[in-house]
Copies of this chain bind each other. A is one copy, B any other.
Amino acid sequence: MNIKNAALDSGLPVKTIRYYNDIGLINPARDHNGYRDFRETDLHKLTFVAQARSLGFMIGDCRTLLALYENDARESADVKHIASQHLAQIHEKITKLNTMSDTLSHLINECAGDHRPDCPILDNFGKRGSKKNGT
């Protein structure tokens, strides 16, 4: 199967598939003319990575997960560990975004949004809040 159909099959852009090949996530065979030839296992991997990526896993995790997937001697604990760590990161992001959302919503509510220049949003940005120390 050529790259276009592999793209159609996996739902990934052609460019992305080539990129995944470049970084060694997949390694499809080549035809006599140099064209990539995607077999069942390649398509499977592509689908796998597409799913993992859509859940926000980094490429590095996808690589590990893929190795686990292909390793019959794996322990599900390893998979669960990676997934749990990722879930924790997702929750962290959600928390941060919720904080931003709260602050911003409040500011937006306070702002008249008319033709006058007075703006609590800008006022807030201009004000130096409590100094933060990134640890």
Using a CB–CB cutoff of 8 Å, the interface residues on chain A facing chain B are 11, 13, 44, 47-48, 51-52, 54-56, 65, 68-69, 71-77, 79-81, 83-84, 86-87, 90-91, 93-94, 97-98, 100-101, 103-105, 107-108, 111-119, 121-122, 124-129, 131-134
Contact = CB atoms under 8 A, between A and B. Distances in A.
One complex includes copies of this chain to the number of: 2
A112 B113 CA distance: 53
A16 to B, nearest CB: 11
A90 B94 CA distance: 10
Nearest to A73: B117
Contacts of A87: 101, 104-105, 108
Contacts of A65: 122, 125
